[in-house]
Amino acid sequence: MKGNVSEKARLLHMLDAIRLIQEFTAGLTYEQYMQDMKLRLALVKLLEIIGEAANFVTKDTQNTFTEVEWNTLYVVRNILVHEYFGINYDIIWQAIIDKIPTLKIKVESVLQQLSIDNG
């Protein structure tokens, strides 16, 4: 199944997860985030999806679009999956606030450039 998903679909999965993260956290305070365990677990899952999808973007695309930290996204996914007992929700919140908006712009740019190149 993993090999049957197109590169564009992987990037769209990343973008969908990013949009959901932004939707779920829009207007929230840190305190509201910390009080909602279901929300925190949903956000972790969405970050895992981003990392998993990033891992299956082809090496050619990764090498062409080096502004996206593909490997870091997958490393974060691995930490969230395998070190689940040690997740630091403060770091997750900061990443959502500081990194997700920029990641969205970068992934949108990659999708646009791939669409232009593939006509």
77 is catalytic: yes
Q: Which of 10, 24, 21 is nearest to 104 (CA)?
A: 21
Place of tokens 């070190």: 83
For 114, the enclosing helix (H) or strand (E) is helix 100-118
Contact 102, 95 (CB under 8 A): no
- The token duo for 113 is 């450039």
Active-site annotation, residues: 77, 82
